[in-house]
Every structure is written in C-alpha cells, then in structure tokens.
Structure 1
Amino acid sequence: MNDLVVARGEVLAQIEQACAKVGRAENTVQLLAVSKMQPSDCLTAMYHAGQRAFGENYLQEALEKIEALQDLDIEWHFIGHVQRNKTKHLAEKFAWVHGVDRLLIAQRLSQQRQPTQAALNICIQVNIDDQASKDGCQPAEVADLVQQISVLPHLKLRGLMVIPAPDNTTAFAQATQLFEQVKSLHAQPADWDTLSMGMSADLAEAIAAGSTMVRVGTALFGQRNYATV
C-alpha cells in the first residue's frame, strides 16, 4: 500500500513539473492508471491512495475486476483494441472507450449503451505515425469520423487517443495539431476536450505537446510479469 501511495505521488509530481515547465495548470492533465495484469487488491490500494480512473486493455480481465470492485467508485476506461463482438460488454460496463477507429464500432456502442446510463465517453484512436503494428484510423479519416460519430445517441465524443512509436515524440505535436484542426468541426465543441497520449516513459513530452490525459502503468505499479499471461 505505502509503495503505491509513493509511486502515485511521484507520478503526480512529474505531471505537476511537466505542466509548470510549459505554463499549464496541473489540473489540465488527468492521470489514468493502466492496471492491466494487476490484481484487484493492487487496484483497491491505488484507489485508497486517491486514484479513481483505471484503464484496462483486456476485456475478460477487466470484467472480472469490475465485478470484484463494484463497491468502489471507479471510472473504468477501456484502452485496448475494440473488437466488434465485444462492444456489448464495453457499452454496458465502461465509462470510457479509447480505441474507437471505425464508424461501425461507434454505431454498435451507441446501440448497445442503455438509455438509462450516462453517455459513453469515446476517443478516436489515430495511428498518428502510420505504424504497421498499431491499430487506429489514419489522420485523414478523423474529420469524417468525428462528424459521423458526434451525432450518434448515447455517446459523447471527447477527443483523440494516440500511441506513437517509442521515442517518436514529434508525433505528439502532430496529434495536437490534428486535435485542434478537428475541434472546429466537432458538432459539440464543448465536449471535445481530451487528447489521450503519453505513458510512463514520455509523459513529460506528451504534456508539453498538449496531452490532457496520460496513461501510466509501469511507473505506478512496477514492471508487469508477462510470463504469467
């Protein structure tokens, strides 16, 4: 527990320093704790340290945690690749979905979100530097997707999510430029407020470029043991 409190404090300090360096208020950047492959008790400890937003990559693992931790007021984000046959669970159980890169996925999420639930927050995933191994739409496709998705019911289109190649921090500036270009076309510009980019190793560079949400796992929880997966 104490180690997690310290780790979270250190990450928040990094965010504060990165914001101060470029003249931004620290409350303009949200910390999303990437908790994939972490046991529920670690999430509970991080929650009691003050963290509320958690991001999961693997749906089945996430659903098990959501069930186990339903008594906690956690804001659940899905940040993995969105498959069309998994949208029903995403629409029902999550507050945010970051990996939307096709209109079909957004339509299914819209249809499957219950009218009694708050609107599902959506980020469009953009393959900002054209990596063959990464999901996401092309930058040139974003404007049309924004216009199409922003009118769907039960969704709130919030912005963009990018995962540039390691050390390609110039892609952050490209993502910010795209974010600002599209902003004027958004049907509900007040909602277009989220640029999800930056992780443990490059959060300072992402914040300097304009990130409003950093997705941090290793710096909070330590290295993951992938051999157990």
Structure 2
Amino acid sequence: MNTRKTELIERTAKVKEDLAEAAKAAGRNPEDVSLVAVSKLHPASDIRALAESGQVDFGENYVQEALNKQEVLTDLHVHWHFIGGLQSNKAKFVAGNFGLVHSVDSRKLAQALHKKALSLNVVQDILLQVNIAGETQKSGITVDLLPQLAEDVMKMENVRLVGLMTMPPFFDEPERARPVFSRLRELREALESRLGTQLPHLSMGMTGDFIPAVQEGATLVRIGTRIFGARTPRV
C-alpha cells in the first residue's frame, strides 16, 4: 500500500472515530451520522484509495471537475454528493449524476433540477441550503423564506426533499457555531410538522466544527481538509 493511500485511510478512520464519540456523547447512534469526504480539488486516485477501503460518500463542489472524476471512477460503488453553489443553468449536469444535492436555495434551481430529472425519469434527492446567519457572501435561502420554498419543492414530483443544509460563519471556537446547528434542527422539526412528512437529513459540520454539529443532530458531516490535507488552488 502506498504512503498516500495509507495516510488517507488512517485520517479517515480517525475522523470516523471522533464522529462516533461525538454521537455517543450526545446519546445518538453513531450509525446515524455519515461522513461525506469532501474530495474537491483532489485527484480521482484519492477517491479510489478511500472507496476501496470502504468510504462510500464523497462530496464535490465543482460540476465539471466532479463529472470528470465520475467518468474515470465508474467501476466504484460510491454515493456522490453535490455540495457547492449551483447555478440553475448547470442543474442539467447535476440531476441524475449525484445521489444528493445539498445546495438548493431557490425555486428556480429546484425547478431546473426537477425538469432534468423528469427527462431522465429519475427522482433527484435534494436538501435546502439555509443561510441562518444571514451572511451576504454565502448562498442559502433565508429563514423567513424557507417554508414557502419547501412547500413549492414538495409539489415537484421529480425532486424529493430529504432535509436541510447550512454553513455557519467561520469561528475560531467551534462551540460558537452550535446555535446555528441547533437552529437548523429546529427549522427541520418545524418543516416536518408543516409539511406532514419526515426530513431525515441535516447536513452540517465541517473539519473545524463537526463535534457540536453531531451533538446537535447532524446526519451528514462534510469533512475535507482533515482527510485530504491542503487543496490545490483552482486555476
């Protein structure tokens, strides 16, 4: 086994161990929390190394980069997550190619995914991204507009709403992100009551703040740097 593969496997195992400990500390079943390894800007060979060792979920941010990786990794049984900002004119490349889209934040984008999914005769699972802190530089639907967007999405037969996603502000102290995670859980519960359906997923928590995220109910944790190391800058 080469050095890079060994390093990736060991890092991933340590992250999963920490995720399990955080879940147990919160009285949760560790199996209810899935690690999404954020492989953006890292080579397909890294994904292969981890997939062959049992890692299933991988997150990508950039459409063309992700599709290129998928093309050379068709033999792998992995679950692809699209977690980056997505323009509606690129939705046609995403629907049907990713098991879950985390970053839906408008009716226009949801409709574009629905249209493509309909043409493929598939149902695309999505999360609604919520900008809880109201940061102007970040994507996400505002809290007050979330219920209407959720109701609109529920009327689209070829997209399936399965939960919510958020990205808190960057804090030096992870605990400061806890109120954002707690708020997303509360919003999910309110939506479930309003819509009369279960929304099983909360996508929240990254390398620097995943422990409070798990303790507040995260089911999908997006971790990249702690597994893959520093990223190669995009050109």
Unaligned runs of 5+ in 1: none
The 2-side partners of 1:114 and 1:7 are apart by 39
Residue among 57, 68, 72 paired with 2:72: 68
Q: Post-superposition shift, 1:225?
A: 2.8
TM-score, with structure 1 as normaliser: 0.94
The 2-side partners of 1:118 and 1:4 are apart by 34
The 1-side partners of 2:227 and 2:7 are apart by 9
Residue among 192, 195, 198 paired with 1:186: 195
1:198 aligned residue:
205
2:62 aligned residue:
58
The 2-side partners of 1:114 and 1:143 are apart by 24
Contact 2:101-2:126 at 8 Å conserved across structures: yes
Contact 2:96-2:124 at 8 Å conserved across structures: no
* CA root-mean-square deviation: 1.3
2:26 pairs with 1:22:
yes
Task: Report the residue type matching 1:204 in the other structure.
Answer: I
The 2-side partners of 1:92 and 1:74 are apart by 14
Change (3 A) 1:117 1:68: farther
2:216 pairs with 1:209:
yes
Which 4+ runs in 1 deviate beyond 2 A?
A: 114-118
Contact 1:92-1:114 at 8 Å conserved across structures: no
Q: Deviations over 1:33-68 (max 9, x none)?
A: 100001000000010121111110011101100111
Task: Report the residue type matching 1:181 in the other structure.
Answer: A
SS at match of 1:93: coil
Task: Report the residue type matching 2:191 in the other structure.
Answer: V
The 2-side partners of 1:63 and 1:135 are apart by 22
Contact 1:4-1:49 at 8 Å conserved across structures: no
The 2-side partners of 1:151 and 1:83 are apart by 21
Unaligned runs of 5+ in 2: none
2:44 aligned residue:
40
2:158 pairs with 1:154:
yes
The 2-side partners of 1:45 and 1:117 are apart by 32
Identical-residue share of aligned pairs (%): 36
TM-score, with structure 2 as normaliser: 0.92
2:179 pairs with 1:175:
no
The 1-side partners of 2:121 and 2:58 are apart by 19
The 2-side partners of 1:179 and 1:99 are apart by 15
SS at match of 2:162: strand
The 1-side partners of 2:154 and 2:56 are apart by 26
Contact 1:127-1:134 at 8 Å conserved across structures: yes
Q: Post-superposition shift, 1:92?
A: 3.2
After superposition, residues 87-106 of structure 1 pair within 5 angstroms as 87-106=91-110
The 1-side partners of 2:228 and 2:121 are apart by 31
